[in-house]
Amino acid sequence: MRGKIAIYPGTFDPVTLGHIDLIKRGLRLFDGLIVAVAGNSTKDTLFNAEERLAMLRAETEGLSGVEVESFNSLLVDYAQERGVGTIIRGLRVISDFEYEFQMALTNRKLAAKVETVFMMTSENYASISSRFIKDIARLGGDVSHFVTPAVAARLKEKYSL
């Protein structure tokens, strides 16, 4: 990838329409986007890192300028290893801002040259959270308003086991 590149990190468990929207909008601001799946997350994930990578790659296949990778280090260390100076983070609600603001300030202390850009979610996706989607799917609800058909099928398969 060449030009102005940003990293969009997350657990993506699972990838939602809100994530896809942010990726597409990020591509309007940057020449390329590294969608970085946190492999060593402290969150309990439904899908393992390989499954999350596969879903993201499938969902972003037609988007020029997107790379999907995993990382197992501090985000700012990963950014510096990749030579990327910008991190994109999505904000849905006020509580997201508080957490993300603290994280951005901490990252700045660790790596002053890595900046964080906050992007407000599109209002259509403000209520979407991976946690809620997993709860809905686990209880047999319809998640088609929140994820693509392929991701919905993966959720159904996961909870059918």
**Domain 5-123 carries which CATH code?**
3.40.50.620
Q: Is 130 a catalytic residue?
A: yes
In this structure, are residues 8 and 35 in contact, taking their beta carbons and an 8 Å threshold?
yes
Which tokens in the block code for residue 19?
A: 């994530």
Q: Where are the domains of the chain?
A: 5-123
Residue 128 is predicted with a pLDDT of 85
Q: Which of 44, 40, 53, 42 is nearest to 12 (CA)?
A: 53
Q: Is 25 a catalytic residue?
A: no
Q: Is the pTM of this model over 0.85?
A: yes
Q: Is 92 a catalytic residue?
A: yes
Q: Is 145 a catalytic residue?
A: no
d(CA 120, CA 101): 13
Helix spans in the chain (H)? 17-29, 49-59, 75-82, 94-110, 130-138, 149-160
Which tokens in the block code for residue 65?
A: 């300028």
Q: pLDDT in tens for each of the 161 residues of the chain? A: 567 999 999 999 999 999 999 999 999 999 999 999 998 767 789 999 999 999 999 999 999 999 999 999 999 999 999 999 999 999 987 778 888 999 999 999 999 999 999 999 998 888 888 999 999 999 999 999 999 999 999 999 999 86
